Structure 1
Amino acid sequence: MRAVRRAMSGAAAIAAACALAACGGVAAPGTVVAGSVAAVAWEGPLTTLNPAVAAERTAGDLDVAALTRARFATVESGALVANEDFGQVTIEEESAGGLVVSYDLAEPVWSDGIALDAADLMLAWAAGSGGLRAATDVEFAAADTGLALSEEVPAYDEFARRIEVTYTEPVIDWQTAIDVAVPAHVVGQRALGIDDPMAAKTAVIEAITGRDAAALEQIAQLWNEGFAVTGKGGLVAADELTLSSGPYAIDGIQGGPDEEGQKVTLVANPRYTGTRTPAYETLVLQRDAAEDPADLGDAYDVMTVRPTGENFDAIRTLERTDHGVSITDRGELWTLLARVDGVSKLSDPAVRAVFLRAFDRTDVTSAAAGAWEDAYPAASAVLFAPGDEGYDIAQEDAGFADAFRRTGDPAEERIAAGIPENSAVCVLYDSTSAFATAAFEALRAQVAEAGWAAADCGNPDPASVVEVGGEWDVQITRLAIPATPAEIDAVWGTGGALNATGATSDARDALIDELAHTTDPYAARDTRVAIEKTIVDQMVAVPLAMDPIVALADTSLEAVLPRGGRVAPVIGTAVDWRPAGAPEPQPTEGSDEDGSLF
């Protein structure tokens, strides 16, 4: 018997079922298998129920948001996927001087039965745009989006659940900029002291359209701080702060963000209006950092582990006994970076080219991966993950293979370039990482054959070495595949906050700016490919492989098929999980199974 399942037995399970069906509530979706519980070993922690806040959101925050918040669109495998069950986003007008976009809700409902409408959209605009800051001096601590270029209060139709947002410039993220992260009626009730939810919605709209500084100050304070998960109990101030618009709703939070055993219980949301509804009635997310495959089938039904030499045999045994074993990633790429800021020995492009052609990246990755070699397929881009929309085009057009192809014997190339034998190159890497350490050893052995001396500059905190401008010429590190132009600029833009290589390029800076103002998805893809080419042309990065994780599922589950990326790669697919033997859900008549904008 699973320990986590025992925690959900008895009164708790009865209460959950009661809330969903026979105790006066709304019946669960027809796809839900009554009494079904999936226990998940979870990285966590859950720190906030407002996924639009600017503070760094944890993997746990993104996991829970993926299941409890519906959106106009999401990004999957580098492509935007529209969610017409939630609503439609349409460009009404576009010119070099601006953009007008309508955000038109379908008929989504919060889990308390209150409809999402123009008040929720207006609150999302006010929080994300900062458009009221100048007039009211009120600050919403929202994550940066293209809404920062919207200063004019939107036109709205309260009955049609629609707003029109005017941007002063075209923005790439116009489909996703409006993020309905929290319920406007709850914000109005708690911030403004109004009991009636519809009156609270009206008050929120009036505060925004009237630029009421006093009311907006109260609204912003609640939006910024009121949804935080705090304290040893892990509970927020009131149950209404846990409302959901997604396929699952929060039934309980046990333990605060700083507690290793934090547990979040989710139940199927009976008021969810999407066409893809879950089979599992209850999900129990139990924070557990042990990553022990032996816990599968005992403590947990689903878990995620990092591949190591120690767990290879155990996971292979699970796969051979019909357990679910899937390789995915969290959107991070193992990469070799060359420092070119004038301090490094590789700042000279000719010297750098000779060194970077002195080793075979596939052999380095293979040696570092060991028994897990198949989990580390080679990558050939730093702005696209393998399988992403545009990755194949980047491989063809950016020219990585040609740029790094050996033209002769590496030792002879070094001699021809006039580079002395045993020239030392300081290689920085995370000395606590088994993969990075093994990759360094493989790199050192290979370049030695070409007459280079790779010096061991491993450090348990390589980021601190980079931050203070410490000694290094080459770094073996993980880079996040960037999701936005701002993230590209931070790593690859001139003077970017995370630009470790020191590489500069006026052409690349201009392309990044162009990307930020491109509304057409195909044009955006091609511009991103052009940015990739500038990185290849400078020869400052050698992509190795995506950093994998392994999703494990007990034989009692089916359809645990994770997707790659930083946002909920495993938990985010829970709506598709089902108990073994349960019928496969059929798409609702008239629904679009794909939904892709492409």
Structure 2
Amino acid sequence: MKYTKLSAAAALAAGSALILSACAPGGGDADNTASSGNGGASGSASQGGEAGAPEVTEGDKGQKLTAPVDGPGMADLGDIQPQDDTIAYSVGADDFVSYNGVQSNTYTTYNSAVVDRMFSSFWYFGTDGSVQRNEDFGTYEKVSDEPLQVKYTIAEDAKWSDGTPVTAADYILQWAVENDTVKAEGAEAPLFDSISFEQGKYITEAPEGDPAGKEFTVTYAEPYADWEILIGSTLPAHIVAEKAGMTIEELAEAAANKDVEALTPAAEFWNDGWDFNPGELPDLADVPSTGPYMFKEGGWQAGQSITLTANPEYFGTPAATKELVLRFADPKTHVQALQNGDLDVIEPQATVDTLQQLEGLGDSVNIQTGDQMTWEHIDYSHVEGSVFADSPELREAFALCVPRQQIVDNLIKPIYPEAQVMNLREVFPFQDDYQEVVDAAYPSELDQPNLERAKELVEQSGVSNPTVRLGYQAGNPRRTETVALIKSSCDQAGFNIQDANSPVFFTEVLPAGDVDAALFAWAGSGQKASGKNIYHTTGAQNQVKYSNPEVDAAFEALATSLDEDEQKEQTKIIEKLLWEDFQAIPLYAHPGVVGHNADVANVRDSAAQSGALWNVEQWVRVQQ
């Protein structure tokens, strides 16, 4: 399974957190070896555009565009209708699993690639990770700072594909779903299996508004830095009500009152009712869409692909292409599939070999490269039994021997010459405040390895020839090379570096704490306090059991501040403390590579975790 950084960029804007990236789009890492994904979908990914296809112009980075692009948001395509055509894409080899993609066992980038097409939101992330408002769906405004209060107005014509209006009831249910105080008496787990409970934490009372109406207001118990992205879209409350044997009014009332007994049948359906066996979609009436695409009847071929079709009831700008095929294809096959016409757009792992293969396809393919909000790092394990758990000397020694600049020079710069060593966790090198935070928080003596000092620290630790099990997901050539470079350097400092890659690294090894250090990436977007879920002592994604009360307090201060200057100061404090503890070793922001058939227009890579898929509804084949 591939994990992503838990982010409000998920289908239901699940709150501030991050996603483990084993194989993320836009420069993610190929670590799966499943089916080739060469068949099973209706239509042909390589068919030509029809007569009258839109004309194109050249944009930045050689992008082909059917409408001018002004900034990081969606282009205005004007009055269009879906072109009777099919475009194919693959995020990786894992099959689709659930219409409810925000449960603990379904929130992956594979699943999100499908469901994100079917849920509209009040906002989306633009190409630079900035928050962009989606007024086709609705509007929102902050009406008060003390207390923080936000009013939402759903567009009058916003509706589910079955014709049911989107109303406040959908958001009242979603608030209960994301509230871990909604639990049975004596139960350890909340009633609803959700990946985020941020809404319930910061918004302690249910949204106020007529459940049948289009307006609702939320009041925060305390300020929240990422308030603008906490509420986005929802699953259909009217379907949950129907399956639970309730009216929508009864469901909304039970949700608002946190009535566990009344909500139990609703939670049972919410948790399990939308999970499917491969290839077996339920009655399409149970899985409506508010997005530009919806499931196509009979369009799911297990282990091969799933086909979405344009939503005829969509209230925004229609999808530019009638059918979208999402293939379940091993990333190692993507370049060949692009050449064969089985895929139209790919985001392979950014390696020198991959880039050369794409360049070898000539004018038939357009290539885009750029910065990504996915970053590679090595986390020290603080789990009992780890060589680093109780040894600050060994953590510092390891940081002093990891050849970060050499890793970037050898493995990343040949793909993206502007790449640089990343010295922070919460701010990216291409963001405006990066250097200011680096100057305040980063120990510059780590710029280059210092093997002599590392040797001294190893000796001071009292551990002779310490073994470091450096773990990562198997099947990743770039990480294998990274570990080899680290071993070549750190063994000279007295360590014994072991390549501890595993095919079950994320599902078994890391949760069990069976490594001393973990090499992986977080894939995310432009949130302000997303790292709290990783670095806070009680963070749900703190797999390495790191704990520092000062970091906890700084993240609380950051998350509850609406002042941008204060947010920056707390970020400096957090970064400095994390470096002092040697919590992790940042390496680099991933370079993104997108390749697409030259006759497909409006493909625009994004730095955010959604990658190129962020505007897939605008992709269209054009005549060359």
SS at match of 2:192: coil
Distance 1:382 1:242, change over 3 A: same
Q: Which amino acid aligns with 2:131?
A: L
- Matching residue of 1:594: none
Deviation for aligned residue 1:120:
2.0
- Matching residue of 2:196: 144
Which of 27, 35, 59 aligns to 2:84? It is: 35
- Matching residue of 2:214: 161
Q: Which amino acid aligns with 1:83?
A: N
Asked if 1:544 is matched to 2:587, the reply is yes
Deviation for aligned residue 1:562:
1.9
Distance 1:148 1:299, change over 3 A: same
Answer yes or no: is the 8 Å Cα contact 2:370–2:416 preserved in 1.
no
- Matching residue of 1:20: none
Deviation for aligned residue 1:117:
1.7
- Matching residue of 1:233: 279
Answer yes or no: is the 8 Å Cα contact 2:537–2:547 preserved in 1.
yes
1:533-587 deviation per Cα after TM superposition (whole angstroms, max 9, x unaligned): 2212334433222345532211220221221343x322222123232359xxxxx
Q: Which amino acid aligns with 2:173?
A: L
Q: Which amino acid aligns with 2:238?
A: H
- Matching residue of 1:102: 151
In the TM superposition, 1:294-333 aligns within 5 A as: 294-296=336-338, 297-308=340-351, 311-318=354-361, 320-327=362-369, 331-333=373-375
Distance 1:345 1:136, change over 3 A: closer
SS at match of 1:383: coil
For 1:341 and 1:185, the matched residues in 2 are separated by 45
For 1:136 and 1:102, the matched residues in 2 are separated by 35
Higher RCO (C-alpha under 8 Å, 6+ residues apart): 2
In the TM superposition, 1:554-569 aligns within 5 A as: 554-566=597-609, 568-569=610-611
1:471-518 deviation per Cα after TM superposition (whole angstroms, max 9, x unaligned): 74x554434558878863454334756656665432211112223323
Distance 1:381 1:417, change over 3 A: closer
For 1:523 and 1:132, the matched residues in 2 are separated by 33
Asked if 1:243 is matched to 2:293, the reply is no
Q: Which amino acid aligns with 1:7?
A: S
Deviation for aligned residue 1:67:
1.9
Distance 1:182 1:423, change over 3 A: same
Asked if 1:57 is matched to 2:97, the reply is no
1:184-239 deviation per Cα after TM superposition (whole angstroms, max 9, x unaligned): 3333334327xxxxxx54443344457766653333333222222x1343202x21
For the pair shown, the structure with the greater C-alpha radius of gyration is 1
Distance 1:393 1:531, change over 3 A: same
Answer yes or no: is the 8 Å Cα contact 1:338–1:475 preserved in 2.
yes
SS at match of 1:295: helix
For 1:166 and 1:263, the matched residues in 2 are separated by 40
Q: Which amino acid aligns with 1:235?
A: L
Number of residue pairs the alignment of both structures matches: 541
For 1:550 and 1:348, the matched residues in 2 are separated by 39
CA RMSD of aligned residues (A): 4.1
Distance 1:346 1:353, change over 3 A: farther
For 2:518 and 2:553, the matched residues in 1 are separated by 27
In the TM superposition, 1:127-138 aligns within 5 A as: 127-129=177-179, 133=183
Asked if 1:7 is matched to 2:55, the reply is no
Q: Which amino acid aligns with 1:573?
A: N
SS at match of 2:166: coil
SS at match of 2:100: coil
- Matching residue of 1:86: 137
Answer yes or no: is the 8 Å Cα contact 1:4–1:284 preserved in 2.
no
SS at match of 2:238: helix
Answer yes or no: is the 8 Å Cα contact 2:401–2:450 preserved in 1.
yes
Answer yes or no: is the 8 Å Cα contact 1:50–1:227 preserved in 2.
yes
Distance 1:326 1:45, change over 3 A: farther
For 1:231 and 1:358, the matched residues in 2 are separated by 48
SS at match of 1:305: coil
Identify the range of structure 1 (201-210 vs 239-248) with the bigger mean alpha-carbon deviation.
Answer: 201-210
Distance 1:447 1:534, change over 3 A: same
Point out where structure 2 has 5 or more consecutive residues left out of the alignment. Answer: 1-36, 45-76
- Matching residue of 2:69: none
For 1:310 and 1:334, the matched residues in 2 are separated by 19
Deviation for aligned residue 1:455:
1.9
Which of 536, 540, 548 aligns to 1:505? It is: 548
- Matching residue of 1:224: 271
1:95-131 deviation per Cα after TM superposition (whole angstroms, max 9, x unaligned): 4xx6443322222222233321222222222322356
- Matching residue of 1:591: none
Identify the range of structure 1 (516-525 vs 438-447) with the bigger mean alpha-carbon deviation.
Answer: 516-525
For 1:497 and 1:574, the matched residues in 2 are separated by 31
- Matching residue of 1:71: 121
Q: Which amino acid aligns with 1:105?
A: I
Q: Which amino acid aligns with 2:366?
A: G
Q: Which amino acid aligns with 1:281?
A: K
- Matching residue of 1:23: none
Identity of aligned residues (%): 20
Answer yes or no: is the 8 Å Cα contact 1:493–1:499 preserved in 2.
yes
- Matching residue of 1:344: 387
- Matching residue of 1:589: none
Q: Please report the TM-score for the alignment, with normalisation by the length of structure 1.
A: 0.76
SS at match of 2:124: strand
In the TM superposition, 1:250-269 aligns within 5 A as: 250-252=295-297, 254-255=299-300, 259-267=302-310, 269=311
